[in-house]
Each structure stands twice: as C-alpha cells, then as structure tokens.
Amino acid sequence: MHVRREIGGFRTILGHPDRGLVTGPLPRGCELCFSGLKATIFITGLCDDSCYYCPVSREKLGRDVIFVNEERVTSVEEIIVEVERQGARGASITGGDPLLVPERTIDVISRLKDYFGDNFHIHLYTSGRYATLPILKELCRVGLDEIRFHPTRNAFIKKISLASKLSCMDVGAEIPIAPGLEGWAKRVIIEVEKAGGSFVNLDEMEFVEPNAEALMLRGYREDPKRPFTVKGSLEAALKVLRWASSNVSIAVHFCPAIFKDNIQTRNRFRRTARRDATWFEIPTSYGTLVWGELRGLKECPEEAEPCLEGACCLRPERELLKKLARKYGAKAYIVEAFPTRNRRPVVSTVQL
Ligand code: SF4
C-alpha cells in the first residue's frame, strides 16, 4: 500500500477511499494483488450458497469450470502455463466454493508449490461450509498460506477458530460491505478476533449485471460517483473501520471495487503484456498490446509472419505497413488488444 494518509482524523485508518483503507497491516495476499502479482484461479463455479449479492457471472456460477484470470483452462498444466504467462508470484483460489472440489483444490495448491516454490503465496476463499478439520489439515499439509472465510451463515464462523488452531496459515474473513451490513461486519470482526484470526477484508459491494436485480429489490442503488458499486458502501465501510480502530486489535481492510478494476487488473495486464509480447507486439502503458497486420495475402512477406485469422503480423510501423500493403496489394491495419492467449477482446483496429 503506497498511500499512507489519515482519513477523517482517525489516526489508525490509513489509505485512500479509491485504493483501500486499513486499520492495520495488509494481509500478504492483498499486497501481492495490489501489484498485479497474484493470479486469480477460479477453481469451480459450484456453490451451495445463493447470496443475493453474488457478483459471479452466470456463465460461471453453478458450472464446474476453471478459469485463470480471463482464460478458461481444463488442467493443472494449463493453470501453470497461465500463471507463468502472467509472471505471478502468488495465486488466489476462488469460486464458487473451492472446498466443494477439495481434491482438485488441494492438488492445484500442491502442484503450484512444487513448481513455483514455497514462496509462491496462495490464499483461498471459502464460505466455510465444507471446511472440515481433515480438509483444513490437508490444506496445511500442501502449504496453503492464507485462508479467507466468507461466512454466509453464522454457523460457519466457528470454522475460523478451527483453522486458527492449526497455526499453519494466516486466517481471516472477507465479506461484502453495504448500508445495513455494518452489524454483520462487526460481528464477523469480533468473531475473527476471538477465534485467533488476524484480519477482515470488507469488499465494497459490487453492482453488476448478475446481482443488479436482487440488489434493486432490496432497495440498493448504483452509486453514480463510484460506478459498478452499491451507493453508500464506502460510508458503511468507514463506520465499521472507525469502530474497529478503537474496539479490536486485528487489521480491518476496505477493498474498493474501483481498485480491483483500475489498479489490480491493469497492473496484471501490464505485467502479462510485457512478458507475453512476441517480436511484433508492443506493450502499452494501459496493459494492452499493439501490432501491425497485413490482410488479404496468401503468403506473408519476409518482414512479417503468419498470425491470427490468416493475417500477416509485423511491428506496428505505419510507413513500413503502408509500403508493404502497396507492394503486395494487401490491406494494412494497426491492432490493439488485451494480452489474453487469443488476443481478445480487441480494443481497436485502425486501417491505414
Ligand atoms: S458464497 Fe460466494 S460464490 Fe457462492 S453464492 Fe455466495 S458470493 Fe456467490
């Protein structure tokens, strides 16, 4: 966390409403995430909860699919390739509920640790519903570094103490925050402290297509000043942080939705673009890649090589592209896209 500023005169709340606010040290998993150094492994869309605020897209929720960041994958080997493409130094394992597929989750953690080493930091999210002692012990055995409970029911809160007693990983909770949820947040914070956990993350409640209708029915509205978030979430978080700063000793951290989009994802794209660029692609400061294309040729000239959808790709040098287009009767373009495996979605295609 680079920003260290006191908010509203409360000496122990540091940060910025758009970058995150904390009352204590950031969990290690958040530090790496801030720099775009965490890969997000969506290990399954299966989940036995049905939270009205669930922001998971309907193409993932309830389906047993695996994604690493934006990429659909089907094997541990592909997971490793994607983590490497990003140059991540850690991973967050999320879902759905990862503990609904415990063998897969444990295998992935174990293989990531074997391949990238013990310092590769892994944190995992779970409702706690399936966090039994044998499963928690297995997670410890394979080297899970941090577990974050999202206790969808009060009964699951006791799983936090079960995990804490094993003393092999950092234990905390992560829950959404919006107006009306301050009481729940305080209860979870108290329980995490009592159970021996070390942090609670409050996620600014997202207002996105999958949950918009359910949120509207409960009277929530989108904040016009903080797009894609529930109006009043920041203020609700501030109330809880102020209370926490003088009532508990564990760290409470507010994670703004805008941070995920503008900083975390952008940093991740920048890193992936730099590492994954081919000889003809130029990484941009926005985290995209730019290259030149000649289209309509049967064979590529020696200055270019065959690439996506039958095009010939080369560096995005306008004059060279125009010259080659004239010489070979081709159409020349400059293309900009995100650094996904198939370079989609395309951000812009400009014909020269
Ligand atoms: S536990 Fe998580 S994935 Fe499952 S419904 Fe709730 S928010 Fe969605």
Residue 69 beta carbon below 6 angstroms from any ligand 1 atom = no
Beta carbons within 8 Å of 99's beta carbon, 6+ residues apart: 105, 126, 129, 130, 131, 135
Q: For the segment 313-329, what is each residue's pLDDT rounded down to a tens digit?
A: 999 999 999 999 999 99
* Mean predicted confidence (pLDDT) in 61-81: 95
pLDDT computed for residue 4 by the predictor: 43
Q: For the segment 281-292, what is each residue's pLDDT rounded down to a tens digit?
A: 999 999 999 999
In the chain, what are the domain boundaries?
6-270, 278-351
Rounded distance from Cα 56 to ligand 1 centre (Å) = 7
Give the class (CATH, top level) of 6-270.
Answer: alpha beta
Beta strand 170-177 with 331-337 is: unpaired
Residue type, 237: A
Residue 127 beta carbon below 6 angstroms from any ligand 1 atom = yes
Rounded distance from Cα 7 to ligand 1 centre (Å) = 31
The residue contributing the CA closest to ligand 1 atom 2 is 96
Q: How confident is the model at residue 117 (pLDDT cuts 50, 70, 90)?
A: very high
Rounded distance from Cα 243 to ligand 1 centre (Å) = 27
User: Rounded to two decimals, what is the model's pTM?
Assistant: 0.89
- Residue 233 reports pLDDT greater than 60: yes
* Mean predicted confidence (pLDDT) in 143-169: 92
Closest ligand 1 atom, residue 127 Cα: 1
Rounded distance from Cα 62 to ligand 1 centre (Å) = 10
How does the average pLDDT of the chain come out, rounded? 92
pLDDT computed for residue 95 by the predictor: 94
Residue 164 beta carbon below 6 angstroms from any ligand 1 atom = no
- Residue 11 reports pLDDT greater than 60: no
Q: For the segment 235-247, what is each residue's pLDDT rounded down to a tens digit?
A: 999 999 999 998 9
Rounded distance from Cα 182 to ligand 1 centre (Å) = 19
* Mean predicted confidence (pLDDT) in 160-182: 95
